[in-house]
Chain A
Amino acid sequence: MGDPNPSGWVMKLLKWFCPEELYEGIVGDLLEQFDEEVKTLGLRNARRRFTSNVFRFMHPAILIRNKMKQLNYLSMGMYKSHFRVAYRSMMKHKFYSFINIFGLAMAVAFVFLSFLFINQELQYDEFHTNKSIYRLYNQIRATEDQKLLSDASAIISIPLIPDLARQVPSITSHSRLASNSGTVSLGDTPYEETLHFVDNDFLSMFSFPIVHGLSNVLKDPNSVVISTEHAIKYFGETDVIGKSIEITLNDSTKTYFVTGVVENKERESSIAFDILVPFETFRMVTSERSMTTYNTASIEGYIVFENPDVTRGISPILSSAIEKETSDDHSILEIGIQNMSDVHLNPEVIGNAKYTDPQKLYIIGGLAMLVLLVAIINYITLSTSHTLKRMKEVGLRKTLGAFKSQIRIQLVIESFSLSILAGAIGVGLAFVITPYFSQLLDIPLSFTLDWISLVFIVFLALSIALISGGIQSFLIIKHKVVDAIKGTIVLRKDSLLNQSLLVLQFSLSIMLIIGTLVVRTQMNYIQNKDLGYDKERLIEISMQSPADISSANNLIDRLRLELAKDVRILEISGSMNSFRYPWTQLGFRQQDESVERVYFNKVEENYVKTMGIELVQGVDFDQNSENKSKILVNESLVNYFGWEDPLSGQIPGKNFTSSHQIIGVIKDFHFSTLHNKIEPLVLSVDKEAILEGVTGLSTYVWPINMYKIELRIGPGDLREIMDEVEAGWEVVNPNQPFVYSFVDDVLAKNYEEELRWQKVTDSASAFSIVIAWLGLIGLTRLSMQKREKEIGIRKVLGSTVTNITTLLSRKFLILIMIANIVAWPLAWILSERWLEDFTYRISLNPSLFLIGGAGVLLVALLSVGYQSLRAAMSNPVDSLKCE
């Protein structure tokens, strides 16, 4: 039987995967069977069966047997010994192991926390089981040149959703989502709350767990659904179906019955709500016109398609369905959709839902990687210099017949044990600091060890072990056995790799510190910048849903009268927009059909005075005279329209039928955050003054009304004054809670995001500098130890302590200088990128860079200097005596 053979590759495959000691018996049996089958079944069938049999041998029992056998009988003892040696060397060099493990553990903790955060952000809205929920957005596009005239905005007009649902059959359910503040009362206790107005489909579309009640609970106009937290807040329990609460909107109070209690999934949902009422109720707070017009955008809308396939190319269909309502000769309103899973992290569409800039996830991920890099570098530099002390051991192992691979395995096992230990400690550390971290950053973060995070941690520890152990073994194995044993390998003091790693590590730390300083300076600048009005001792009081402007004015007047007797209360005024953004923006259609946009605030006569805004030209509103069709404009508006004589100017617009009078020009003040330039602004007491000219799509955040009272107080004890104000409020408006805030606090809130990120960079740089510093201590200590004899000889020959200290620290300090030079330009570029977001920003000052560099230098100097000093002061007898 010479000729008939099974396919060669199958034989090779078998040989490859089959354990050595089983191979002969298996292949023999297979060949015997093959030979017989060639006779009975023919060559082709026999070959086919042979191949399939070989594949059947690829069975875990055979494949793993290989490894297990080796582990069990051949190298198990060796592995055990590796672990033992690892443990011994760890215990022998406690200081060094501590630095190594603790540095890594800190990095692991930071990386793990970042991972928790990023993972949590990515999980947003994933709990909704229906994956074809979409949020609508709109944008205006010019018909002529197809240019976008507005950003994509998820704030849409009220009739859009029902109209679309009527005309597009593939929309199976839909819900609008509007919000407004209102007063909820139980008995005598009023609560100031934000209500959300939704359609009946809301709870069946989304997967908010319904604790009590059915999903079809908002059918009845008097029904209300509340979150479990609010059920407990109001009633002390969650099973509160059928209980009644009173809700006051726009001065009219109605009784509602709780028909459902749901979990609002606060930490996972970009739609945040506490109280849901039927959408029809929204009529009570908005004008009749806004319920039907396409010109005002004030709500969000969500739709569900019957299946995800129909969403391809749906946008033009949606846009054309409502085209006749929204388009004119020059522009059309384009309707787009975005999947629910996209809402939380998409920077393109602006809306009301909770949103995180995905860039921030990259930044925090990047920071985590930086910290980890610093720690790994630490580990490598420390362990290589340290392992060189163990060259003798390696040399002896080699002499006794150890393969290179075995030494490599030993080193990897050592770093593996270290990194697993560090990983475990790091997770423990993360567990301990999670609450502080989440409090510090004001991010609800929960420490969870689910399988994803476990896999992540194991992966992290493994990669640290492989990277560091690999590099380390590469560095050590290349040395010759003889040199190793003779002990003639002294790591060249200035091994290039070690030095560049050290430079890299310190550059990263310096960059982080400079970044921290830049962020801090900018935040300081923002908080102390002159805003154009006086934010100190200014108080804002919320008026709960006043029925209309005149009742609001009435309330302000009565409060003013009531508080007039207290001289510490200087001015009182009211306004529509306050210190929360964005403000109302109005669009005026021009003769050429383009739209000019200006910001608008409906104010009370006293507004400019109360705010402390400077008047540069003309006069202020006067309480004692008619203010009809009078407006104030800011300097930006004057500059924008290029008026020579602003007092005779008119806001251009083709829809104006009557004229308005610009009575004065106020100095520019920041009515938005410092991210934005000061835009043209109109203030008026008479809301009709310029409203008739509005035609283009304008954004009202709230319906036009007065919402806030501003109060300027003079010197005196704050608490006393506030008690006084509260007492006055009780007299004029006993049915509503007294809700106030200090304007400087409110403003600080606008920069909460930045403050939060300031803390993130703070902690990242703290982590990295501590790790790098630990590394530096370890490294100098090792290098001192290596040069003990040298120092002794130098001292004997007459070197002074100063001489030796300089000699020893010089190398490190030069390296840190180089690190500074590397770090500065990079830090400059990155800081510039971050500052670009701010319209009002600091210019980068070289002193920041010097401070950053000098800080690191100082820390290094202290640790290196101290250790050098200690080495220099040691008695040469101790290091030189040979016992």
Chain B
Amino acid sequence: MKTYLGEFEEVILTMVGILGDEAYGNAIVKEVQGKLDRSVNLSAVHITLYRLEDKGFVKSEMGGATASRGGRRKRYFKITNAGLSLLQEMQAQRKKLWELLPQLNFQRLIYG
């Protein structure tokens, strides 16, 4: 059985990958905001992260103590190998499809 990801799940998974060691809830919210200009809710991010964790694409651990955040530790997420290969696979598939798309347009341009 192959696992597929929803669009939002894919975005979050990618962000976890991009942020590397600094991936926790708030950072991801900000990153999505900054890179994609898209406003997301913290709870949606958390829920998605837990779901990805259940599916085994990310893993999480608590960071060290912090001074801010009322002294609460951050839960850091890290992309797993399974997550990474899934992203790669999705990328490859998309590329394959994309390559089919301009070809059609190209021919149209010439003969149409």
A contact set with B: CB distance below 8 Å: 1, 22, 24-33, 35, 53, 56-57, 59, 61-62, 65
Contact = CB atoms under 8 A, between A and B. Distances in A.
A24 B75 contact: yes
Interface in B45-90: 46-47, 50-51, 60, 62, 66, 68-70, 72-75
Nearest to B76: A25
B47 A61 contact: yes
Given A24-B62, A24-B73, A53-B42, A29 B47 contact: no
A707 B24 CA distance: 93
A62 B70 contact: no
A57 B43 contact: yes
A57 B42 CA distance: 9
A25 B47 contact: no
B50 A24 contact: no
A57 B50 CA distance: 12
B17 interface: no
Given A62-B50, A65-B50, A28 B43 contact: no
A32 B68 contact: yes
A56 B73 contact: no
The secondary-structure label for the interface of chain A is: helix
A29 B50 contact: no
Given A22-B50, A62-B50, A28 B42 contact: no
B26 A33 contact: yes
A56 B44 CA distance: 8
A26 B46 contact: yes
B103 interface: no
Given A24-B73, A27-B72, 6 more contacts: A22-B46, A25-B24, A25-B75, A31-B70, A35-B69, A62-B50
A716 B29 CA distance: 102
A53 B43 contact: yes
A35 B43 CA distance: 17
Contacts of A1: 68
Contacts of B105: none
Contacts of A61: 47, 50-51
A56 B29 CA distance: 15
| Nearest 5 Cβ contacts at the A-B interface | A25-B75, A28-B72, A29-B25, A56-B43, A28-B69
Contact of A25 (B41, B68, B74): B74
Interface of B: 24-26, 29, 41-44, 46-47, 50-51, 60, 62, 66, 68-70, 72-75
A59 B26 contact: no
Contact of B66 (A28, A33, A59): A28
Nearest to B72: A28
B73 A28 contact: yes
A61 B29 CA distance: 19
Contact of A32 (B26, B44, B50, B51): B26
A25 B43 CA distance: 12
Contact of B46 (A29, A31, A32, A35): A29
Given A61-B51, A65-B50, A29 B42 contact: yes
Contacts of A24: 62, 72-73, 75
20 contacts: A1-B68, A24-B75, A25-B25, A25-B72, A26-B75, A27-B72, A28-B69, A28-B75, A29-B24, A29-B26, A29-B69, A29-B74, A30-B42, A31-B69, A31-B70, A32-B26, A56-B42, A56-B43, A56-B44, A62-B47
Contacts of B74: 25, 28-29
The secondary-structure label for the interface of chain B is: helix
Nearest to B66: A28
Nearest to B29: A33
Contacts of B75: 22, 24-26, 28-29
A828 B47 CA distance: 66
B24 to A, nearest CB: 7
A27 B43 CA distance: 11
A867 B54 CA distance: 59
A28 B24 CA distance: 10
Nearest to A68: B54
A12 to B, nearest CB: 14
B43 A59 contact: yes
A31 B73 CA distance: 11
Contacts of A59: 43, 47
A26 B44 CA distance: 12
Contacts of A32: 26, 68-69
Which of A25, A26, A27 has the most B CB atoms < 10 Å from its CB?
A: A25
B46 A28 contact: no
A47 to B, nearest CB: 15
A24 B63 CA distance: 11
B26 A57 contact: no
Contacts of B62: 24-25
Contacts of A65: 50
A518 to B, nearest CB: 65
A446 to B, nearest CB: 43
A644 B21 CA distance: 117
A29 B60 CA distance: 14
Nearest to A55: B43
A33 to B, nearest CB: 6
A26 B50 CA distance: 11
Contacts of A62: 43, 46-47, 50
Nearest to A58: B43
Which of A26, A27, A32, A62 has the most B CB atoms < 10 Å from its CB?
A: A32
A11 to B, nearest CB: 9
Which of B26, B41, B46, B73 has the most A CB atoms < 10 Å from its CB?
A: B46
A91 B25 CA distance: 53
A669 to B, nearest CB: 83
Given A35-B68, A59-B47, A25 B26 contact: no
B8 to A, nearest CB: 13
A80 B46 CA distance: 32
A357 B99 CA distance: 78
A61 B75 CA distance: 17
B50 A33 contact: no
A559 B41 CA distance: 96
A56 B25 CA distance: 15
Given A32-B26, A62-B47, A25 B73 contact: yes
A65 B60 CA distance: 15
B44 to A, nearest CB: 8
A8 to B, nearest CB: 13
B58 to A, nearest CB: 13
Nearest to B61: A25
B69 to A, nearest CB: 4
Contacts of B25: 25-26, 29
B47 A28 contact: no
Which of B26, B51, B62, B73 has the most A CB atoms < 10 Å from its CB?
A: B26
A25 B23 CA distance: 12
A53 B41 contact: yes
Contacts of B60: 25
A31 B71 CA distance: 10
Nearest to A36: B26
A24 B61 CA distance: 11
Contacts of A35: 68-69
Given A33-B26, A53-B42, A57-B43, A28 B70 contact: yes
Contacts of A57: 43, 46
Nearest to A59: B47
A29 B73 CA distance: 9
